[in-house]
Amino acid sequence: MINQSLIIGLIFCLFGIQSCKKVDSTTTKERSSSLSSVEHIEQKVTRLLNQMTLEEKIGQMNQYNGFWDLTGPAPSNGDAAKKYEHLRKGYVGSMLNLRGVENVRKIQKIAVEETRLGIPLIIGFDVIHGYETLSPIPLAESASWDLEAIKKSAEVAAEEAAAAGINWTFAPMVDISRDARWGRVMEGAGEDPYLGSKIAFARVQGFQGSDLSHHSTLAACAKHFAAYGFAESGREYNTADIGTSTLNNSVFPPFQATVDAGVRTFMNSFNELNGIPATGNTYLQRDILKGKWEFDGFVVSDWGSIEEMIPHGYAKDNKHAAQMAVNAGSDMDMESYLYVNELANLVREGTVKEAYIDDAAKRILRVKFELGLFDDPYKYCDAQREKEVIGQQAFHEASLDMAKKSIVLLKNENQLLPLKKQGQKIALIGALASDKTSPLGSWRIAAKDNSAVSVLEGMQAYTGNQLTYAKVADVSLGKTKFTEEVKINTTDKSEFTQAIAVAKKADVVVMVLGEIGYQSGEGRSRTELGLPGVQQELLEAVYNVNKNIVLVLNNGRPLVLNWHQEHLPAIVEAWQLGTQSGNAIAQVLYGDYNPSGKLPMSFPRAVGQIPIYYNHKNTGRPIMPTPSTVFWSHYQDVENTPLYPFGFGLSYTTFEYSDLQAQVVSTNEVNVSVTLRNTGTFTGKEVVQLYLKDHYASVTRPVRELKGFELVRLEPNEHKKISFKLTEKELGFYNNAGDFVLEPGDFSIFVGGDSTTNLQSKITL
């Protein structure tokens, strides 16, 4: 897209017309076109920086929300007039929540054509699991353990969002969490740092592609740095207080993986970590991220998190908050208004070094150059492309593929599933079964309400059976995050009778129950993890008349499912699967797709077990020496184990593992192999998982840790030898000095289909 006024300006300059007074303050188009193609981005950044006033540099560090209140509370002084004024002065470097080519172009035009230097804006948006065509929520995608599919899903999300004018996504969220009470577990990859790192890497690759300047890729943002997922008691935004070992071995690895993948931005977090808010945390941002990991992109604050250092009890006032955030390495202020209002004075009075401002502005400009915004600030603003790309059939196909891969079969007694395709009376029960909004899950800002395929629609595509639907007491679904209260029915049982009547006549009852779309996500912590509202009562009422129930769960977090596991013959974990939800579920129920998902988080037996995670430590009293002994690490009322362990998931076929071999090649290399056989009657995929236990070390190690996995597809009776190589990276760990070490000693290697596998081999290094 060529900008006319720039061309006119350039022509004037070429002819030496004196009115072209912006020589050193040339507009960006002129500047970039006059640079030789070999000139490095760093030189371009430095040259531009040298032309900037202090206020303009600080302007780059200021990010405003679009002109409506979308993903967080707007500050009281956040009036649109002020924002426009700042835009025109070049005091804004980025906008978020602006979308649609027309809107973005309008604002970009102000930055490019009305400011002194014409520096384009970087446009951020929460493209978390898609833009308009939604993929499963990230936790669900993680259950696929399919890195190629996850990467593809991010690629699709990037292409669709980039067509709508966006060039920066606030994703992936790579926070490890062991607490299902925390609503944002839906947005991450679960509890494990190894799986989480692989997924983090894949997502960054998917969003950013191999060419960041391409019009269909986005700059990614690893968030929330750090330990946001360790909020005490699972309560949103709460304090995180964790030790060095957990920080280094569990929290940091996925973040480091995003740096390895070349992620261009980071977001810090709302929480304090060990007494210091992440936003004002020099150790996290300067020492670790920009120092040890040599990250050369920029760090954006979370929404208002600079200002929030005041209620945290860390900053005295606005000025103090701005000072501490910038000194600690927060480069861009999202919606606190504090950089734009306070930083210039802080620099003038010497409290903040100008070098920090230069460094922050440089980092932001670098990413803008890499995105190609200086070559063409409107490259993401092609109305024709927007029309053609958004909602493409290919995106729906990718979304369906990802959705099927994300489903986890938790129970299937007497092969109730897959359902027979002919001659059956099927009762479909539950408001979520016809719901076309909830499956979109949380973070669906650009998706249209009612745009998901419902389970009812998905099942209606199979016409060989008689399908009867009983909706039963609607849920109120909430249109957008702030404009409509999210409610779930807690009282109305008036339609139970109808559901029971339908169930009585059925051969099989499919019940779709769980959480509505906005019951998980930001600000959606819960203390109870059962089925909300009257759903449990409904389930039991139906069970009393027909026990042949397939429970299909729609939820954004692990739930407590003891009754269900004990009583129901079949349970399908279908999360919130996005736009193609109903088709994916129906294809799995009818056996056109054999489920292969494995849980990325442990499902507790009771909320009181939380935090519960497979890679815990052993304690000095791990097991009961004799049945009568009290004094060992346990509960009186519930056993220690989760109901469904990490890595667990069934298939319509069965797999057998044999012949595990572990061979020490050298002190830092071990080869492992195992044979996997499909012993059932369906073609199926299995996630072969390798766990390591380091028996003793200078810092105690978990009872076992995932260190490898492979997704293997086998025909019935086919077998395959699977090999793994363990190197220093898998065999070592971070000690409490933060050094990565490999200590010789005894190790056990476990291989199998979930984290409780007993097939093991011992080695000594």
The C-alpha atoms of residue 52 and residue 393 are separated, in whole angstroms, by: 46
Residue 482 to residue 496: CA distance in whole angstroms: 31
Exposed e or buried b per residue across 93-121, where buried means at least 16 C-beta atoms within 10 angstroms of its C-beta: bbbbbbbbbebbbebbbebbbebebbbbb
Residue 267 Cβ vs ligand BGC, minimum distance, rounded to whole Å: 6
Given the complex with ligand BGC, which of 264 and 411 has the nearer CB atom? 264
Q: Which is nearer to ligand BGC, 168 or 655 (CB)?
A: 168
Pairing of strands 298-300, 168-169: unpaired
Residue closer to ligand BGC by CB (options 126, 694) is 126
Minimum CB–partner distance for residue 173 and ligand BGC (Å): 7
Q: With respect to ligand BGC, which residue has the nearer C-beta, 221 or 599?
A: 221
Q: CB 501 → ligand BGC: shortest distance, Å?
A: 46
570: tokens are 């079949």
Residue with tokens 């209140």: 69
- What's the closest the beta carbon of residue 426 comes to ligand BGC, in angstroms? 40
Nearest Cα to Cα of residue 137 among 406, 533, 429, 363: 406
CB-nearer residue toward ligand BGC: 71 or 249: 71
Helix (H) or strand (E) holding 196: helix 193-208
- Min dist. Cβ of residue 268 to ligand BGC (A): 10
Alpha helices in 509-657 (DSSP H): 535-543, 562-567, 581-589
Q: Shortest gap between Cβ of 231 and ligand BGC (angstroms)?
A: 12
Catalytic residues: 302
How far apart (Å, rounded) are the C-alpha atoms in residues 271 and 406?
30
Interface residues toward ligand BGC, by CB under 6 A: 71-72, 96, 126, 170, 223, 302-303, 522
Residue type, 718: E
Q: How far is the CB of 96 from ligand BGC (least distance, A)?
A: 6
Q: Which residues contact 709 (CB under 8 A, 6 or more apart)?
A: 145, 195, 687, 688, 689, 690
Residue whose CB is nearest to ligand BGC in the complex, by number: 71
Q: At 179, phi and psi to the nearest 5?
A: -130, 105
Q: Which is nearer to ligand BGC, 265 or 323 (CB)?
A: 265
**612 within 8 A of 557, measured Cβ to Cβ:** no
Helix, coil or strand: residue 373: coil
> How far apart are the C-alpha atoms of 566 and 543, rounded to whole Å?
12
Find the largest Cα–Cα distance for the chain.
96
Using the minimum distance from each CB to ligand BGC, give the nearer residue, 289 or 692: 289
Q: How far apart are CA 651 and CA 415, in angstroms?
A: 10
Non-local CB neighbours of 201 within 8 Å, separated by 6+ positions: 147, 257, 258, 260, 261
Q: How far is the CB of 559 from ligand BGC (least distance, A)?
A: 24
∠ CA 478-483-489, rounded to 5°: 30
At 167, is the secondary structure helix, strand, or coil?
coil
CA distance 683 to 686: 10
